[in-house]
């Protein structure tokens, strides 16, 4: 388990380091203004659909369905064709009506800004079908316990965007956004290429070739598998989409605030996402196949034992990240972004948003762990209901906090929704089982370590402050 976690974490770390370099260069080139807002809007829309349709829900439903199917090649080909057809249709509609798609996610933009942003939204959206194909192949690799290719492949997207910024030196800000948009598409092509190579090396090509060859004539034999997949997928999709819909609403509401607000959310969320991806997502990806297998074999005791190990591993790391990220938020933002067009005021505004996000790191991260239990036990509908309550909490608090707190109020609303979602997930998992895990001598060590870390970081903060 820990070897797989390390592989995922290291791959994500490499990708995120390159991602931060990309963001550093983007902040220096564009700052936090109308053009940075336009690019983040253009890139956010396909990413929203990717995260809702292509990633978490697809993997969590496809792996058990693929394992159960007696006709794996035909089943895989059938699911791929259905999903890719829908995604290509959405992509074509966005390219035909880019202004409408832009207005849907940033309704606060005026007509001139929407006109500026629309062409970039159309270009960026071609990343969606590419990354769905990547996700499909990645899921097959996970079935074979191969995690490295997917973990490291995001680095190719970041390299592509870094090169786009390099070639866009001395260009106008509008031209920089144009280069970045095509960099996104090229990055998607590179990610797909390395996944095809990995699939070939693991011997999946023959299975997929046979599946696509006979998918039309043999589709009747996988009707039951396909129907069950469909029944489980839509609740799983909604259950996984809360954070993404909240991010969409963040951008929607931030478009009504002062220029740069969308960028403050983006930069702060990028920092917040590092420990979330590095620890929580990496752990859940590595753990899911094992937990699902134990649950399928009715060996709940072993599944709980693995879950408990992962819980304490994750809790220590996320607690340290929360304390460090909150106390050193200003220093982190200054170090990463304050140069070029990114001003001192931009740092202050991004810091305020980051602190509100960091409060929610622990519940967001741990919830991903316990959701695996629900999906392994095919409780997709329960997870969907939890997501609905969480989203409702976000909307309520976002509308309440946006006036008194501005853009940082949106981040705080997201954090509150994370606590709501986590508490409801624990209730579904079993409060007694959760406290059996929690009531452990490791909890005492966690409290002591947290206090000591807070004291050390406060001292360290004062030391850094003297030199900034």
Task: For the chain, give every domain's residue range.
Answer: 1-235, 241-468
Contact 337, 350 (CB under 8 A): yes
Contact 165, 18 (CB under 8 A): no
Contact 385, 242 (CB under 8 A): no
The Cα-based distances of 32 to 28, 207, 265, 267, 342 in angstroms read: 9, 48, 10, 9, 6
Residues in CB range of 88: below 8 A, 6 or more apart: 129
Q: How many CB atoms lie within 10 A of CB 437?
A: 18
Q: Which long-range contacts (CB under 8 A, 24 or more apart) does 249-253 make?
A: 249/394, 249/395, 249/398, 250/398, 250/410, 250/411, 250/414, 251/40, 251/41, 251/44, 251/105, 251/106, 252/105, 252/106, 252/107, 252/108, 253/108, 253/398, 253/402, 253/410
Going residue by residue through the chain (468 aa), what tens digit of pLDDT does each one get? 556 667 767 777 787 788 778 877 887 777 767 787 788 877 876 776 666 655 567 777 787 777 777 788 888 888 898 889 988 998 999 899 888 888 776 666 777 888 888 888 889 889 989 988 998 998 888 877 787 888 888 889 889 999 998 888 888 888 888 899 999 999 999 999 999 999 988 888 888 888 888 777 777 788 788 887 877 787 877 776 666 677 778 878 888 888 788 888 988 988 898 888 888 887 887 777 778 777 777 788 888 888 888 888 888 889 999 998 898 899 889 888 887 778 888 899 999 999 999 999 999 999 988 988 888 787 878 888 898 899 999 999 999 999 999 889 999 999 999 999 999 999 999 999 998 888 877 777 778 888 888 888 777 776 665 555
Ramachandran sector of residue 448 (left: φ over 0; alpha: ψ -120 to 50; beta: rest): alpha
For the chain, the straight-line distance linking the first and the last C-alpha, in angstroms and rounded, comes to: 42
Query: Using CA atoms, how far apart are residues 412 and 418, in angstroms rounded to an integer?
Result: 10
Secondary structure in 3-state letters for the chain: CHHHHHHHHHHHHHHHHHHHHHHHHHHHHHCCCHHHHHHHHHHHHHHHHHHHHHCHHHHHHHHHHHHHCCCHHHHHHHHHHHHHHHHHHHHHHHHHCHHHHHHHHCCCCCHHHHHHHHHHHHHHCCHHHHHHHHHHHHHHHHHCCCCHHHHHHHHHHHHHHHHHHHHCCCCCHHHHHHHHHHHHHHHHHHHHHHHHHHHHHCCCHHHHHHHHHHCCCCHHHHHHHHHHHHHHHHHHHHHHCHHHHHHHHHHHHHCCCCCCHHHHHHHHHHHHHHHHHHHHHHHHHHHHHHHHHHHHCCCHHHHHHHHHHHHHHHHHHHHHHHHHHHHCHHHHHHHHHCCCCCCHHHHHHHHHHHHHHHCCHHHHHHHHHHHHHHHHCCCHHHHHHHHHHHHHHHHHHHHHHHHHHCHHHHHHHHHHHHHHHHHHHHHHHCHHHHHHHHCCHHHHHHHHHHHHHHHHHHHHHHHHHCCC
Owner of token pair 């974490």: 9
Query: Using CA atoms, how far apart are residues 468 and 466, in angstroms rounded to an integer?
Result: 6
Which of 391, 380, 381, 399 shows the shortest CA–CA distance to 420?
Answer: 391
pLDDT of residue 141: 87
Contact 169, 131 (CB under 8 A): no
pLDDT of residue 326: 92
pLDDT of residue 83: 87
Structure token pair of residue 273: 């996402």
Indicate the pTM of the whole model.
Answer: 0.72
Which of 36, 61, 17, 7 shows the shortest CA–CA distance to 342?
Answer: 36
pLDDT of residue 52: 62
Structure token pair of residue 155: 């680095």
């Amino acid at each position: 388990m820990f070897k797989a976690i390390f592989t995922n974490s290291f791959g994500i770390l490499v990708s995120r380091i390159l991602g931060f370099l990309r963001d550093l260069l983007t902040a220096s080139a564009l700052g936090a203004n109308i053009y940075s807002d336009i690019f983040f809007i253009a890139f956010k829309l396909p990413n929203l659909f990717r995260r809702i349709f292509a990633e978490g829900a697809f993997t969590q439903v496809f792996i058990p369905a693929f394992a159960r199917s007696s006709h794996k090649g035909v089943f895989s080909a059938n699911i791929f064709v259905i999903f890719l057809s829908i995604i290509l249709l959405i992509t074509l509609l966005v390219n035909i009506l880019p202004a409408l798609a832009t207005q849907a996610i940033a309704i606060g933009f005026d007509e001139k800004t929407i006109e500026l942003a629309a062409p970039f939204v159309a270009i960026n959206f071609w990343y969606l079908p590419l990354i769905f194909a990547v996700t499909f192949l990645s899921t097959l690799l996970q079935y074979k316990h191969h995690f490295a290719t997917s973990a490291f492949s995001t680095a190719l997207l970041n390299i592509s965007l870094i090169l786009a910024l390099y070639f866009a030196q001395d260009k106008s800000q509008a031209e920089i956004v144009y280069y970045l948009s095509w960099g996104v598409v090229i990055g998607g092509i590179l990610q797909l290429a390395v996944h095809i190579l990995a699939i070939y090396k693991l011997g999946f090509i023959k299975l997929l070739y046979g599946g696509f060859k006979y998918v039309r004539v043999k589709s009747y034999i996988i009707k039951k598998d396909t129907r069950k997949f469909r029944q489980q997928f839509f609740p799983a999709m909604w259950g996984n989409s809360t954070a993404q819909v909240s991010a969409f609403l963040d951008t929607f509401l931030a478009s009504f605030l002062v220029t740069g607000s969308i960028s403050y959310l983006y930069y702060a969320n990028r920092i917040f996402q590092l420990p979330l991806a590095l620890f929580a997502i990496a752990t859940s990806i590595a753990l899911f196949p094992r937990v699902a297998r134990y649950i399928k074999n009715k060996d709940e005791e072993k599944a709980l034992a693995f879950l408990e190990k992962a819980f304490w591993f994750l809790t220590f790391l996320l607690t340290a990240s929360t304390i460090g990220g909150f106390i050193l938020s200003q220093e982190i933002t200054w170090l990463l972004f304050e140069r070029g067009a990114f001003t001192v005021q931009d740092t202050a505004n991004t810091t305020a948003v980051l602190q509100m996000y960091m409060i929610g790191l622990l519940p967001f991260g741990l919830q991903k762990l316990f959701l695996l239990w629900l999906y392994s036990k095919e409780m997709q509908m329960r997870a969907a209901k939890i997501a609905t309550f969480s989203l409702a909490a976000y909307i309520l608090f976002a509308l309440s906090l946006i006036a008194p707190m501005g853009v940082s109020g949106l981040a705080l609303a997201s954090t509150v929704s994370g606590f709501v979602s986590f508490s409801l997930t624990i209730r579904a998992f079993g409060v007694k089982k959760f406290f059996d895990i929690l009531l452990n001598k490791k909890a005492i060590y966690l409290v002591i370590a947290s206090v000591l870390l807070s004291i050390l970081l406060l001292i360290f903060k004062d030391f850094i402050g003297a030199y900034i």
